[in-house]
Amino acid sequence: MVIEEESPRSPEAKLGMELEELWDIQEAQLTPTEKLNACFESIPVSEFPHASPSQVIEIKSDASLGEAVRLLSQNKILSAPVVNVDAPEDASWIDRYLGMVEFAGIVVWILHQSEKNDGSDVFSSALDNSLRPAVVAAAGGMSSPRYRSSQPESPKTAGNFFELLTSSDFYKNTKVKDISGSFRWAPFLALQTSNSFLTMLLLLSKYRMKSVPVVDPDDGKIHNIITQSAVIHMLEECADLQWFKSWGSKKLCELGLPLMNTSEVIKVDEDEPVLQAFRLMRQKGIGGLPVVNGNKPVANISIRDIQFLLIAPEIYKDYRSITAKNFVTSVKRYLEENKKASPLVSGMITCRKDDTLKEVILKLDSKEIHRIYVVGEEGDLEGVITLRDIISRIVHEPRGYFGDFFDGVLPLPANSRV
């Protein structure tokens, strides 16, 4: 009796089998990286498994900032494309979309507004005068222990600041289009369905995009949004295939991971103001950082956690200042009481330098997190590994690969990108 081979268990596994077939026919003299590059270049991005409908949402340019925060939070996504409500019905996809609004951009907007202290801006006049020093202190890191030691009278971040901000007319009346300067790319950067996997993977790694929209040029609309997390999930589903094993079986240290040593990891002390954490993310262009006690990581704060300052501002009102420790404690309690899942609830996820890439990918995918911290035997912080770091280890950009692909695409100014 002939037993039929079991079909792949998921679209990602089916895609992995296609890569396996391409891998087997590559020229023998190619290096593993060259072989995999050739495989990825042979597959159109249209074949990547589609995200769930809740992951592919659009936000209108005239939506309020509060509505955008609510939509991103409810759908558990970091960003969403912004539709230009003033564009004509028959507009091309280039004119139809303004960009991607994301939590990172919202952080930029909040810090930009809070750093204005000339007394003449709309933000200052919208809030009680007594709060202005606290906002500026929080944004500038003036509530940190180091700063307080030299400036003992420095104001602290008021625990009720965000409750007042989110109830102000200024916040309610601010539209998504009003913060367009904080979009990661302007104008809209997307892939077309005919672009290759290799192009997509390079954008998600070397070019630091956390998600890439895929548009169909025929109807000018987004058909899929591919995230770094979706790529990591695909790798997890392919973990037992031959093309993956040449990387997956290697230890992190053999792959040059983590990319930065202990002294280079951006971190925040648990007693520093939480806005200092978001300020560092903005300045350093990172999506998250560890909260430390000494050199031991005790929590992780991600850029998307800014949502908890805006959707549940009342949970901090009992604190005289919102430190990183107070923020994490309050959010954990809020999530547990409301039975909501979040990486903040599961605590610190760590690994060791002698763990394999496969083991780390399994952790990242199962916990749905974007970074994992490398610790030593005593639990001291030794490094950090992000989804981007992992993707960058399986592809490389051939010389002149993108050509004029980026013509007309303007990156964010250095002081706005996060």
In tens, the pLDDT along 216-262 reads 888 888 999 999 999 999 999 999 999 999 899 999 999 999 998 88
Contact 269, 145 (CB under 8 A): yes
Give Cα separations from 247 to 235, 360, 395 (angstroms).
11, 12, 11
Give whichever of 95-104, 276-285, 350-359 has the largest mean pLDDT: 350-359
* Closest C-alpha to 78, from 370, 373, 299, 337: 370
Which pLDDT does position 185 carry in this prediction?
56
Lateral strand order in the sheet of 79-83: 59-60, 79-83, 97-102
pLDDT in tens, 65-119: 999 999 999 998 989 999 999 999 888 888 889 888 888 888 777 777 666 533 4
Q: Higher model confidence: residue 183 or residue 149?
A: 183
* Cα 205 to Cα 134: distance, rounded to the nearest angstrom: 37
Q: What is the mean pLDDT of the chain?
A: 83
Which pLDDT does position 107 carry in this prediction?
79
* Closest C-alpha to 142, from 125, 129, 154: 154
Which pLDDT does position 161 carry in this prediction?
76
Copy the structure tokens of residue 57: 């949402």
* Cα 304 to Cα 326: distance, rounded to the nearest angstrom: 17
pTM of the model: 0.85
pLDDT in tens, 162-199: 888 888 888 889 999 888 766 665 557 899 999 999 99
Distance of alpha carbon 358 from the chain centroid: 21
* Cα 392 to Cα 168: distance, rounded to the nearest angstrom: 43
Among 137-151, 225-239, 240-254, 311-325, the minimum mean pLDDT is found in 137-151
Q: At what angle do helices 65-74 and 103-114 cross, to 10 degrees?
A: 140
Burial of 2 (0-12, 13-18, 19+ CB in 10 A): exposed
3-state secondary structure the chain: CCCCCCCCCCHHHHHHHHHHHHHHCCCCCCCHHHHHHHHHHCCEHHHCCCCCHHHCCCEECCCEHHHHHHHHHHCCCCEEEEECCCCCCCCCHHHHEEEEEEHHHHHHHHHHHHCCCCCCCHHHHHCCHHHHHHHHHHHHCCCCHHHHHHCCCCCCCCCCHHHHHHHCHHHHHCEHHHHHHHCCEECCCCEECCCEHHHHHHHHCCCCCCEEEEEECCCCEEEEEEEHHHHHHHHHHCCCCHHHHHHHCCEHHHHCCCCCCHHHCCCEECCCEHHHHHHHHHHHCCCEEEEEECCEEEEEEEHHHHHHHHCCHHHHCCCCCCEHHHHHHHHHHHHHHCCCCCHHHHCCCEECCCCEHHHHHHHHHHHCCCEEEEECCCCCEEEEEEHHHHHHCCCCCCCCCCCCCCCCCEECCCCCCC
Average of per-residue pLDDT across 308-315: 88
Residue 10 pLDDT > 60, yes or no?
yes
Quickly count: other Cβ atoms within 10 Å of residue 219's Cβ. Answer: 9
Quickly count: other Cβ atoms within 10 Å of residue 182's Cβ. Answer: 25
Which pLDDT does position 90 carry in this prediction?
87
Residue 122 pLDDT > 50, yes or no?
no
Pairing relation of β-strands 288-293 and 350-351? Answer: unpaired
* Cα 36 to Cα 242: distance, rounded to the nearest angstrom: 11
pLDDT category, 129, cuts 50, 70, 90? very low
Which pLDDT does position 124 carry in this prediction?
45
Residues above pLDDT 70, as percent of the chain: 82
Which pLDDT does position 394 carry in this prediction?
92
Copy the structure tokens of residue 341: 């899942």
The identity of residue 182, as a single letter, is S
Residues above pLDDT 90, as percent of the chain: 53
* Cα 173 to Cα 169: distance, rounded to the nearest angstrom: 6
Q: Higher model confidence: residue 341 or residue 167?
A: 167
Copy the structure tokens of residue 347: 């605590």
